[in-house]
C-alpha cells in the first residue's frame, strides 16, 4: 500500500495530455489506479486470501480450542491428514457428501431445472410467471427459514407430508436424513438451473427443432439430437457451479444438524463439528484443506470452460 498520490501528479491531472503515466480515458494514471484498487485488495487479502493460506498451515498443527495446544500449537506435519484418512467418520462424511452432490445437484437440480425450463419454453403469461416465481421464491428465502419449513413438513407426527400421504408416524428425518436433505436442497436450489436452461433454450434455433420435427423425430430424439448438443456448454457450466455450491453448503446443519448419529454429516457439517464443537481446530483445518483442494479442481475446470467460450 505504498502508493500515495504525489502533489505534482494531482496538478498534472488538470492539464489534459500531460499525464505522465498513461493516456487512459479518465486520466487515472497507474499510480492512482492502484489507489482505487488498493482498498478492495486489502480486504480481500485480509479476509479471503490470508484465511486460505492460514488454513493450510493450521492443518499441519495440533491446534485446539482448549487446553495446552490452544496457547501453543505444535507443528505435527501430516498427522492430521493421516488421522483423517484413518478416521471412519471422515470417510462417512465424504461418502455422504458425494451422495448429497450427486443426488441434489447433479440429478435433482439439473433434471428438475431443465424439465421446468423445457415445459415452459414457448410460454408467456401467468402460468409461466407463477411456476417461475415459486421456484425462485424457494431460492431467495433465507436458508434458516426454509430449512425449518422442511422440518415442519417432514415432522413425524404433525407434519403435513405424513398427513397428506396418510402415514402418520413415518420418521422422515430420522429414518432418511440424507434423502430429506437431498430433496430439501433440490427444492431450494433448482431456480438457478431453471433460469440458466431457460436462457440457454432461448438460443436454440427454432428452425433446427422445426426441421427435426418435420423429419419425424420424437420429442426425446429432438432433445437428444438437437437440444442437448446445442446447450452442452450450459449443462457443463451448470453442473460445475451447483456441484461446487452444494459441496460447500452448510444448510444440512440447519435441517438435521448432521444427525441422527452422523448419518447426514456431510463434510461442511463435519468440519464445523470437529473444529468448533469438539475443538480440534488443527484436524478441522486439515479437512478444510481437503475441501479447498477439491474446490480448486472444480473451479479450474469451470474457469477453463468460461475462457474457452469467450
User: Per CB under 8 A, which of residues 18..57 are in contact with other proteins?
Assistant: 22, 24-30, 32-34, 36-37, 39-41, 43-44, 46-52, 54-55
For the beta carbon of residue 66, count every other beta carbon within 10 angstroms.
8
In the complex, the smallest distance separating the C-beta of residue 210 from other proteins, rounded to whole angstroms, is 17
Rounded distance between C-alpha atoms, residue 108 and residue 110, angstroms: 6
16 binds other proteins (CB under 8 A): yes
SS3 at position 61: strand
158 binds other proteins (CB under 8 A): yes
Residues 231-260: x where in contact with other proteins by CB under 8 A, - otherwise, as a string? ----------x--xx--xxxx--x------
1 binds other proteins (CB under 8 A): no
Name the residue nearer to other proteins (CB basis): 44 or 215. 44
Considering only 224, 276, 277, 278, the residue that binds other proteins (CB under 8 A) is 276
Return the closest-CA partner of residue 291 out of 250, 236, 255, 263.
250
In the complex, the smallest distance separating the C-beta of residue 234 from other proteins, rounded to whole angstroms, is 12
In the complex, the smallest distance separating the C-beta of residue 34 from other proteins, rounded to whole angstroms, is 7
> What is the footprint of other proteins within residues 78-137 (CB under 8 A)?
115-116, 119, 127, 130-131, 134-137
Whether 237 contacts 196, CB under 8 Å: yes
Whether 255 contacts 179, CB under 8 Å: no
Q: From residue 90, how far is each of 103, 226, 266, 281 by CA, in Å?
A: 20, 43, 9, 15
SS3 at position 75: strand
Rounded distance between C-alpha atoms, residue 95 and residue 222, angstroms: 36
3 binds other proteins (CB under 8 A): no
167 binds other proteins (CB under 8 A): no
**Cell 474446490 belongs to which residue?**
295
Amino acid at each position: 500500500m505504498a502508493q500515495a498520490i504525489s502533489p505534482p501528479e494531482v496538478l498534472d491531472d488538470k492539464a489534459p495530455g500531460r499525464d505522465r503515466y498513461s493516456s487512459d480515458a479518465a486520466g487515472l494514471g497507474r499510480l492512482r489506479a492502484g489507489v482505487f484498487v488498493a482498498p478492495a485488495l486489502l480486504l480481500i487479502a485480509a479476509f479471503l486470501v490470508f484465511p486460505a493460506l492460514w488454513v493450510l498451515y493450521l492443518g499441519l498443527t495440533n491446534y485446539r480450542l482448549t487446553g495446552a495446544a490452544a496457547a501453543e500449537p505444535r507443528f505435527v506435519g501430516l498427522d492430521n491428514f493421516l488421522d483423517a484418512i484413518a478416521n471412519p467418520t471422515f470417510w462417512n462424511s465424504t461418502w455422504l457428501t458425494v451422495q448429497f452432490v450427486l443426488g441434489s445437484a447433479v440429478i435433482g437440480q439439473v433434471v428438475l431445472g431443465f424439465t421446468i425450463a423445457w415445459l415452459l419454453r414457448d410460454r408467456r403469461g401467468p402460468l409461466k410467471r407463477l411456476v417461475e416465481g415459486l421456484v425462485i421464491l424457494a431460492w431467495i428465502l433465507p436458508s434458516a427459514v426454509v430449512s425449518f419449513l422442511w422440518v415442519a413438513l417432514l415432522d413425524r407426527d404433525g407434519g403435513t407430508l405424513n398427513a397428506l400421504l396418510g402415514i402418520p408416524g413415518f420418521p422422515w428425518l430420522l429414518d432418511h436424513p440424507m434423502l430429506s436433505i437431498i430433496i430439501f436442497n433440490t427444492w431450494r436450489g433448482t431456480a438457478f438451473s431453471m433460469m440458466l436452461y431457460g436462457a440457454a433454450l432461448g438460443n436454440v434455433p427454432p428452425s433446427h427443432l422445426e426441421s427435426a420435427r418435420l423429419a419425424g423425430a420424437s420429442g426425446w430424439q429432438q432433445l437428444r439430437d438437437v437440444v442437448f448438443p446445442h446447450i452442452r456448454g450450459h449443462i457443463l457450466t451448470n453442473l460445475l457451479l451447483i456441484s461446487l455450491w452444494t459441496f460447500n453448503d452448510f444448510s444440512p446443519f440447519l435441517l438435521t444438524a448432521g444427525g441422527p448419529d452422523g448419518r447426514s454429516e456431510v463434510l461442511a457439517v463435519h468440519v464445523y463439528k470437529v473444529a468448533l464443537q469438539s475443538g480440534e481446530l488443527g484436524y478441522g483445518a486439515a479437512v478444510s484443506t481437503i475441501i479447498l483442494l477439491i474446490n480448486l479442481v472444480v473451479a479450474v475446470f469451470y474457469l477453463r470452460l468460461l475462457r474457452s467460450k469467450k
